Structure 1
Amino acid sequence: MGSLVAAIWRSLNPSTLLLGALVFLVLANFFKRQRLPKNYPPGPRSVPFFGDFLLLDFKQPHLSLQKYVKKYGNVFSMEIGFWHTIIVTGLPLIKEALVHQGHKFADRPLSPIRERIFKKNGLILSNGQIWKEQRRFTLTTLRDFGLGKKSLEERIQEEVHHLALAIEEEKGQPFNPHFKINNAVSNIICSITFGERFEYQDDQFQEMLKLIDEVVHLETSLWSHLYNTFPRIMRFIPGPHQALFSKWEKLKLFVSHVIEKHKRDWNPEETRDFIDAYLKEMEKHMGNATSSFHEENLIFTTLDLFLAGTETTSTTLRWALLYMAFYPEIQEKTQAEIDRVLGQSQQPSMASREFLPYTNAVVHEVQRMGNILPLNAPRQVTADTTLAGYYIPKGTMLMTNLTALHRDPTEWTTPDTFNPEHFLENGQFKKREAFLPFSLGKRACLGEQLAKAELFIFFTTLLQKFTFKPPDNEKLSQEFRIGMTVSPVDYHICAVPRA
């Protein structure tokens, strides 16, 4: 038998093997599609193993999806890596999935990359009892440390003062605002989690911010997709995905060092910050093998807060300054309202927001146009269900099409134009139901209140102090780069101090 196999192997040439492998993959893909349940949402035919990933434009996947909405309707399916995925478009269906059937769309899918890094821990990607315990504790602790209170607002006002001084040092010359803004925004969540803020010249902290920026973009690269598709093979192959794992390890090490420092001078009677509160909770659950309160989860939950509390708000503010330089007439109108209501000396606060409807509308329009989470954070179906008459089996990944929602011509008068009037009615600010940057339902953004306060106070203060302009003889671009968020490509801008 062995000699027969050897003879057959010698008779095969590389082209025969390649053809055989191709036939096998095509057949495997055909039978995979055949196994889809009856009444499953329609969608494009997928490529073996890669699914429909290769049908998407890597530089703008959220935009290339929109042609399939036109072809297949508001609920359609795709194969993204190893995930059976449905994409849902339109406010009624998004609300149906995330609110009315929220308990059936409550989980987060865990990719092989995230499983290797986070296992099933943390706040963002955990599910079931772990997620419930971590979210409940985190919300309570954030409220204890000022979420929704005047004390946290004062921290934001203090930090934007430091940011304004750092920008003032540029003396109106072109500079890249990326890491200055990152540092300022991150300091708010750092003051809650670590009990301290970091100076803008702190080299170690600057390195951490750069690591965050790098992992945010590496996680959605082609190499990362290949790892998620072939994890057992890609684990041993060199490439940028290996750099991703080493960068995450450095971030975990940074948080571990902060935790060790807390342990050395920890006093259970005096809770200084989130880490202290978590150490106290761990002590309560000591000896309980089923508890999710342990040091590994402290590291991952802190990292989640650190990452989420920096990236989304910082990216939105970078879009805001870019849009102001692009639309000087809108910037002037915003500044005129700020001058009229606050002047140059009164600090912006959340209480002043209702007296600054145009400024508030501009902030919301930045979020709509910036569209930093174009497909929302993905969900996973926890039990077989139906949506729009289609059968959706347990384990399916759900993506909600916020790009189409935030550019829907039936909802917005000028969907593709930066226009603050979308959020105004008779000169007063108007809430819009079709505006969902923080998502909906049980897994809506935990830090929504904090993000809203940061965006309004940072933006209003910066426009109170500076006028943002493109550098002389340089044209700014609204091009973006894709990562976990959609961010503007790095740019230089002039911040001219206002008299």
Structure 2
Amino acid sequence: MYFYYFLIFLAINFLSSAILRIFMYSTLVFWIIFKTVRYYKSLPPGPWGIPLLGILPFLNRRPPHLVYLNMAKKYGDVFSVQMGSNLTVCLGSTKLMKEFFSRNDSTGRPHTPLNNLLGGLGVITSEGPLWKRQRVFLHEKFRALGVKLWPNTRFERDINVEIDELMMELNQFEGKAVNPAHVLGRHIHNVICQLMMSFRFTADDAEFKLFNEKVSRGMRLFGLVLIGEHVKAYLKLPGKMAVINEIKKNLADVSSFHKQHIVSRIQQREQSSEPRQPADLLDFYLDHLEAEKQSKGKNEKHDIFPDVDPVQQIVQIMNDLFSAGMETSLTSLLWTCIMMMKHPEVAEKVRADLREVVAPGERVTMAHRLQLPYIEAVLIETMRMVSIVPLGTTHVNTEDWTIGKYTIPAGTHIVPLIHRMNMDPDIYMEPEQFRPERFIRDGKFTITDTFMQFGIGQRMCIGNLLARMELFLFFSNIMNNYEFRMPEGEDIPGMDGILGATHAPIPYKLVFTKLQA
């Protein structure tokens, strides 16, 4: 808009009459002021910020979700901020989130520098027909692979393989201080590997250690240059250019790992003519590709790769599932262990409930889930209490949106304030207290629509059920087999943690002790 005003200024400069030029300049300045004031009056209230930077300088002082929490106390459930060149509207109530995310024009993604590095592929940053078709495809194939809250599915059997091996590892570490992130990480990683590629890493696999380090490092790197999402010039600074180059290399390395497995699977399939049932998500994708080739593009409406390279899209899907799926599940388990040490009475009740359903050391399965509502409540209450993802993924409205007297112009960045809702006393009585019972109704686990850690609407986390299965099975079996504590002389980690793609606890070690049967 301001570019066109600049052109008008240049045109006025060529007028011969000085009086006419002054009149035209004055009229244009008045018009710009009028339009600007009317534009900002139509927006929700919010802080002014600093020219060109907006509120970005204030986000360096405290974690963004805490800055937004204070703003919400002042401006209410909806407020606007300028983030560099991007207008951002923050939503801090379940009512507004439901209203926005029920709209068909709420599924856009911001075209920011870091998002653009991913090429608009995968399922996290994609949009339009590609995103819609991928989401439907993944939902269908996840169910086919047993990702559902039922007992004895193939996905549960894959998780059980990892749990059995985890128990053997913890037996070896008994009495020794061990970093739980290192022990749990490989098994959570393997669960996703099995789902996607029927592949798992062994404990001494150097390739796993390198790959795991790259995935974790990639998640941290994005957190170092988030300001560049809003001020592009920030990414041109010498130190930040080095980070961007490392992000590019990191993405290339992780993508190369997945691409090798895809190419290897394609070659295996070409060498065998025997009919086969899909073993994993990769098989489903390659089956679809073969069907598309045979139809010679006649089923355009059903093509899940519209205008993109299929292999690159599959690679990015794997990147998305690994980074989001592994990081959130592992982080949730690490925080839950901390909460059990901070609240030993809760840990005692968890084990008492387990004793009524299974014997010590016996495997806990999905068949026991409905008999153990308190365990699910503990997991969800932990996610609420620590806000695993304090701010929801940024959306973009593709059409103007009216909220009461406010108009949100198309192209605005919409940020869900998950932490604000997690700490809202109108939703959760005494939200600063750890109370799993708040998710129990009439003796049954009840997760209400006010809990939005997995998102809401059309872009709700596609790995919701996957994460809930992993968390229930891993946590239940750890609690049914072991007690754990901090090493002698070390304090239980605080709640501040480390903020990157997720809100993770500071690294810590545990000493595991086998429970007596």
What is the TM-score of this pair, normalised by structure 2? 0.85
Query: Aligned partner of 2:396: which letter?
Result: Q
Whole-Å separation in 2 of the counterparts to 1:314 and 1:459: 11
Paired letter, 1:352: H
Distance 1:32 1:242, change over 3 A: farther
How far, CA to CA, are the matches of 1:173 and 1:231 in structure 2? 49
Equivalent in the alignment of 2:483: 467
Work out which of the residue numbers 401, 406, 409 in structure 2 matches 1:390. Answer: 406
Counterpart contact for 1:105–1:379, Cα < 8 Å: yes
CA–CA separation in structure 1 for the residues paired with 2:163 and 2:42: 53
Q: Does 1:109 align with 2:129?
A: no
| Matched residue, 2:138 | 138
Match of 2:231 among 209, 229, 232: 229
Cα deviations across residues 429-462 of structure 1 (Å, max 9, x unaligned)?
A: 3333321211111110111111111111111000
Equivalent of 2:80 in 63, 77, 82: 77
Which residue, 41, 44, 51 being the options, matches 1:41? Answer: 44
Q: After the TM superposition, which residues 435-454 of structure 1 pair with which residues of structure 2 at under 5 Å, given as runs? A: 435-454=451-470
Counterpart selection for 1:67 from 70, 83, 88: 70
State the secondary structure of the residue aligned to 1:107: coil
Contact 2:362 2:480 in 1 (8 A): no
Deviations for 1:27-56, whole angstroms, at most 9, x for unmatched residues?
Answer: xxx999758454111111122332211122
**Equivalent residue for 1:316?**
332
Gaps of 5+ in 1: 1-29
- Which amino acid counterpart does residue 53 of structure 1 have in structure 2? L
Is 1:497 equivalent to 2:514 in the alignment?
yes
Separation (CA, whole Å) in 1 of partners of 2:407 and 2:267: 55
Aligned to 2:245: 242
SS of corresponding position for 1:65: helix
Contact 2:228 2:234 in 1 (8 A): no
Change (3 A) 1:301 1:429: closer
Partner of 2:5: none
List per-residue Cα deviations over 1:397-421 (Å, max 9, x = no partner). Answer: 1111111111111222221121212
Change over 3 Å in CA distance of 1:434–1:224 after alignment to 2: closer
Per-residue deviation, residues 181-221 of structure 1 (Å, max 9, x unmatched): 22111211110111111113211112111111111121121
2:315 to 299, 309, 314: 299
Q: What SS does the corresponding residue of 1:77 show, helix, strand or coil?
A: strand
Partner of 2:123: 123
Residue number in structure 1 paired with 2:284: 277
- Measured in 2, the distance between the counterparts of 1:388 and 1:163 equals 53
Q: Identify which of 473, 486, 498 aligns with 1:481.
A: 498
Percent sequence identity over aligned pairs: 28
Match of 2:178, SS state, is coil
1:273 corresponds to which letter in structure 2? D
Q: Give 1:357 shift.
A: 2.2
Residues 316, 370 of structure 1: 8 Å contact kept: no
Cα distance change, pair 110–351 in 1 and its aligned pair in 2 (3 A): farther
For the residue of structure 2 that corresponds to 1:285, the secondary structure is helix
CA shift, 1:293, in A, is 6.0
Which residue does the alignment assign to 2:260? 257
- 1:350 deviates by 2.2
Amino acid at match of 2:508: Y
Cα drift, residue 337 of structure 1: 1.1
Question: Distance in 2 between the 1:110 and 1:279 partners?
Answer: 29
Q: Partner of 1:255: helix, strand, or coil?
A: helix
Q: CA deviation at 1:81?
A: 3.4
In structure 2, what is the Cα distance between the partners aligned to 1:63 and 1:174? 33
Whether the 8 Å contact between 1:87 and 1:399 is mirrored in structure 2 is yes
RMSD of the TM alignment (CA)? 2.4
Range with bigger deviation, 42-51 or 223-232 = 223-232
Equivalent position amino acid for 2:154 in 1: S
Give unmatched runs, 5+ long, in structure 2. 1-32, 298-304
The TM-score normalised by the length of structure 1 is: 0.88
Structure 2 match to 1:93:
96
2:196 is the counterpart of 1:193: yes
- Structure 2 distance, partners of 1:76, 1:204, is 47
Q: Pick the aligned partner of 1:171 from 163, 171, 174.
A: 174
Between 144-153 and 422-431, the greater mean CA deviation after superposition? 422-431
Where 2:458 maps in the other structure, the secondary structure is coil
Letter in 1 for 2:287: K
Q: Could you tell me which of 438, 441, 453 is aligned with 1:422?
A: 438
Whether the aligned pair in 2 keeps the contact of 1:285 and 1:293 (CA below 8 Å) is no
Partners of 1:379 and 1:233 lie apart in 2 by: 22
Q: How far is the alpha carbon of 1:179 from its aligned partner?
A: 2.4
Give, as a single letter, the amino acid of the residue that structure 2 aligns with 1:172. G
Letter in 2 for 1:277: F
Asked if the contact 1:224/1:241 (under 8 Å) is kept, the reply is no
Deviates more, 1:169-178 or 1:483-492: 169-178
Shift of residue 241, structure 1, vs aligned partner: 2.8
